[in-house]
Structure 1
Amino acid sequence: MKQHLLSAWMVLDPLYFSCTRLTYLDETNNIFRVRLTKYKGRELLLSDGTRIAKNDVLVKIHLHNVRLLRDIYPIKSDVRRARVIYQHVLRSLPGIETFIQSHKRSDEIKGIIGITTLCKGAERLGFEVFSISNPFYNWLKWVTFLPILLLSVNGNSLQRLGKKTLPGYLVMSKDKLKLLYSSTHEK
């Protein structure tokens, strides 16, 4: 059943992509698709002192879920699946940094933001995690993530679906992204 749902999603994904204003950074290597957005949530203060306020310009990051699910589908271990996702994101963040630096609105962009249920381990990548304060929006995002959650967990993990799967904001300032992931930065 999961294989049929994944196949259907692969067919529908190009339609979704064409309706969302998303941009591919690199179709073969980058797990993210992005677009500029104006932030509409509550004010956030990041650990490096960056303030994210209403109408600030951010790069909204979207995991390319179909590609990701296709890559992790054959893997049985949840730990191994998490490791594969982590590696995809780690390899893809320098591409986002390059996208921001070369964008014509680079000076306006304050950082990156994504909404995900994959918050565990995000701090190791440099993200800060913030809860979604609006209960309706939180529920709506959880419902939209439900198909992804159902396709991404093994049968024995289904009972844990409700626990620790609430969506949250992942945010990183442009300066921190540059510090951690710039291709010109000496590591």
Structure 2
Amino acid sequence: MRSKATQWLLSVWGLMDPLYYACSRLEYVGGKENGCRSIFRVRLLRYKGETIHLSDGTTIAANDWLLKIHLHNVRLLRELMQYRSDIQKGRYIFEQVKAGLPYVAHHLYHHKQSSRIKGIIGVTMLNKGCERLGFDAIDIGNSFYRWFKMASHWPMMTVAQHRLMPLVRPPKYLVMSKEKLFSLYGCHLIH
């Protein structure tokens, strides 16, 4: 029964996703190798939070330009349906993010505003192990925004886990400087 409810929810979400995509000014990154795009969609934004000091010495301040990264959640959740254990799901997400970051680097390198963009940023509750990918995990200072992101990510986490999830892990900013992104995932990695 739960599987049918999950499938129904994903179907509805899949129908609404093109509208969300159109309204949010997102762009896909990466080609369609093996018939499948990168897991990332991105958009340019001006950062509005507190000043962030990254581990590589980069400082991100209010009004700095960043490329906001979004996981393609509907696609990701559909693909996670084939896995039962949290370890398998975590490994799959890790590999999809790792495989998608070279495309994000390529997109940023060729972006018409590339010289002004200081790095990439995302907001997620899936922040365990992000440092191994090169991200700095930063606490969200604004309590309302943190609560809003936690509430908006909760349904997705519940569907992914096939059970009601407690809201225990707060979302965080995942941030990486442009220089670190190019160093780890530079355009030379895309064939």
- The answer to whether the superposition gives a TM-score over 0.5 is yes
Aligned residue type for 1:144: S
How do 1:102-181 residues align onto structure 2 when only pairs under 5 Å count? 102-155=110-163, 158=164, 161-164=166-169, 166-181=170-185
RMSD: 1.2
CA distance in 2, matches of 1:29, 1:182: 18
Residue 3 in structure 1 maps to residue 11 in structure 2: no
Select which of 26, 29, 32 maps to 1:25: 29
Structure 1, residues 109-156: CA drift from partner, whole Å, max 9, x if none?
10000000001010000000011111111111111111111111133x
- Identity, in percent, stands at 48
CA distance in 2, matches of 1:13, 1:147: 15
Residue 48 in structure 1 maps to residue 56 in structure 2: yes
Select which of 81, 87, 107 maps to 1:99: 107
TM normalised by structure 1 equals 0.93
SS of the equivalent of 1:184 reads helix
Could you list the structure 1 runs, at least 4 aligned residues long, displaced by more than 6 angstroms after superposition. none
Aligned residue type for 2:51: E
Contact preservation (8 Å) 1:129, 1:168: yes
Structure 1, residues 40-61: CA drift from partner, whole Å, max 9, x if none?
0000011111110000000000
CA distance in 1, matches of 2:153, 2:100: 21
CA distance in 2, matches of 1:76, 1:19: 33
CA distance in 2, matches of 1:154, 1:78: 11
How do 1:19-98 residues align onto structure 2 when only pairs under 5 Å count? 19-26=23-30, 28-98=36-106
**Structure 1 unaligned blocks of 5 or more:** none
